Chains A and B, each alone.
Chain A
Amino acid sequence: MIEQAFISGQLGRAIYSEGGQQFVIAADHVEEPRPCSGTDLAMFFRSGAEYFAPISPISRLEELANELEHNTQAYKALTLAISIFDPELSDIRGLLIEAAEELLADAFVSAFVRRRLRARPLPLGADIEGALTATKEAGAIATYDLLNAVRASQFSIGIALSAWSEGAPVFFSSEDEMIEAEKLLVESGAFDEIITGMVSRNIGAVDSAVLRYSLIPSISSQIPRVRHLLTAVRNKARERLNLTGGERKETEKPEHKRESDSIRDLLSRFDDNEKRIRKRFSGSEAKARVDAQIDPIKGLIAKHDINLATKWVRDLVEFQVGHGEKRHLGMTLCSLAACALDAGETDFATALIEHAEALGIEDPVIFGSKAWALKAAGDLLGALVEFDSAIRRFPDDPWLRNGRAEVLKAMGHFDEALKQYDETAQRFPDDAVARNGRAEVLKAMGRFDEALGQYDETAQRFPDDAVVRNGRAEVLKAMGRFDEALTQYDETVQRFPDNAVVRNGRAEVLKAMGRFDEALMQYDETVRRFPDDVVVRTGRAEVLKAMGRFDEALEQYDETVQRFPDNAVARTGRAEVLKAMGRFDEALGQYDETIQRFPDNAVARAGRAEVLKAMGRFDEALGQYRESRQLFPYDRRMLRAEASVLLAMNRIMEARDLLLPETNPVSPDDWVKFHLLAMMYLKSGNLDAAITRLSNGAERGPWQSRSFFVGSLAVARIRKEEFERALPLLEAGMGLLDVVQKQRRLVLIGHSHAAIGEKQTAVASLKSIGDMVEPNIGGLRSLLVDRYELGGHSYPKTHAERFPFLDVQIAQKEFLLAIA
Chain B
Amino acid sequence: MSGRFPPRRDTSTRRATARNTKRPSPAPARTPSPNPPQNRSARCLPTACIRYAALSHDGSGLDSYEPYAIALKDLAVKDRATVLEENSYLFVERHDIRRGGAAPLGYRATWAERHKLAVSKLGARVSNVMTQVDFARLLLSGGSNRVSDEFIEVHIYGPLDNNAIESVRGKTKLKNTADRALAAKAKKHLSGMGRPWIEA
Contacts and interface: CB of A to CB of B under 8 A. Distances in A.
Contacts of A76: 2, 4, 178-179, 182
Contacts of B24: 38, 42
A799 interface: no
Given A12-B3, A41-B29, A79-B1, A48 B38 contact: yes
Contacts of A179: 40
A700 B178 CA distance: 41
A95 B4 contact: no
Contacts of B2: 10, 12, 72, 75-76, 79
Interface string A20-53: 0010001110000010111101111111110111
A180 interface: yes
Interface string A564-584: 000000000000000000000
A402 interface: no
A42 B3 contact: no
Interface in A51-83: 51-53, 72-73, 75-77, 79-80, 83
A4 B36 contact: no
A31 B141 CA distance: 25
Contacts of A37: 89, 146-147
B177 A48 contact: no
Contacts of B80: none
B36 A180 contact: no
Interface in B25-67: 25, 29-32, 34, 36-40, 43, 48
Contacts, number: 127
Interface residues of B, number: 38
Interface stretch (A96-104, A445-453, A750-758): A96-104
A92 B181 contact: yes
Contacts of A180: 38
A619 interface: no
A49 to B, nearest CB: 5
A174 to B, nearest CB: 10
A52 B30 CA distance: 17
B177 A102 contact: yes
B98 interface: no
A49 B184 CA distance: 28
B180 interface: yes
Interface string B5-26: 0100000000000001111110
B115 interface: no
B25 A38 contact: yes
B189 interface: yes
Interface string B147-162: 1000000000000000
A801 interface: no
Given A37-B146, A39-B146, A44-B36, A102 B178 contact: yes
A99 B178 CA distance: 5
B177 A88 contact: no
Contacts of B31: 4, 17, 22
Mostly helix, strand, loop or mixed at chain A's interface? helix
B163 interface: no
Contacts of B37: 45, 48-49
A549 to B, nearest CB: 64
A91 B43 CA distance: 38
Contacts of B22: 39, 42-43, 46
A434 interface: no
Contacts of B6: 11
Given A27-B4, A92-B185, A98 B177 contact: yes
B40 A4 contact: no
B192 interface: yes
Residue among B22, B24, B39, B189 with the highest chain A CB neighbour number at 10 A: B22
A36 B22 CA distance: 14
Residue among A9, A45, A51 with the highest chain B CB neighbour number at 10 A: A45
B116 interface: no
A49 B181 contact: no
A103 B180 CA distance: 13
A611 to B, nearest CB: 50
B128 interface: no
B127 interface: no
Residue among B3, B6, B89, B184 with the highest chain A CB neighbour number at 10 A: B3
A757 to B, nearest CB: 50
Given A38-B24, A42-B23, A76-B2, 11 more contacts: A15-B32, A37-B146, A37-B147, A41-B30, A42-B24, A45-B36, A46-B21, A52-B36, A88-B192, A102-B177, A176-B40
Interface of A: 4, 6, 8-13, 15, 17, 22, 26-28, 34, 36-39, 41-49, 51-53, 72-73, 75-77, 79-80, 83, 88-89, 91-92, 95-96, 98-100, 102-103, 176, 179-180
25 contacts: A10-B2, A11-B3, A22-B29, A34-B145, A38-B25, A38-B29, A38-B89, A39-B146, A41-B30, A42-B24, A46-B22, A49-B37, A49-B40, A51-B32, A72-B3, A76-B4, A76-B178, A79-B1, A92-B188, A96-B181, A96-B185, A99-B180, A102-B178, A176-B38, A176-B40
Interface of B: 1-4, 6, 20-25, 29-32, 34, 36-40, 43, 48, 89, 145-147, 177-182, 184-185, 188-189, 192
